[in-house]
Amino acid sequence: MPKYKKLKEGIQKTNKLSEEEKTSTIKKIEEWIKEDRAFGLIYDELVEYNIAFKEIFKELGLV
């Protein structure tokens, strides 16, 4: 799951999110991975959670 790993690393490094947002987002991603959600669904839900994810995904080359 290299996309998930890249996303988690990008979230940890970004300055666009607070530490609390980073922690809660990483937890959500880990739950979604366990539920075997499609990567596109994760993108949609994270962008809905915080619009900053649109830019984070773009910077990471994931969209």
pLDDT in tens, the chain (63 residues): 578 889 999 999 999 999 999 999 999 888 888 887 778 888 898 999 899 999 999 999 888
* Predicted pLDDT at 53: 92
What are the tens digits of pLDDT across the range 8-20?
Answer: 999 999 999 999 9
- d(C-alpha 39, C-alpha 13), whole Å: 20
The CA–CA distances, whole Å, from 36 to 3, 7, 39, 47 equal: 13, 16, 9, 19
pTM comes to 0.68
- d(C-alpha 21, C-alpha 53), whole Å: 11
Within 10 angstroms of residue 25's Cβ, the number of other Cβ atoms is 21
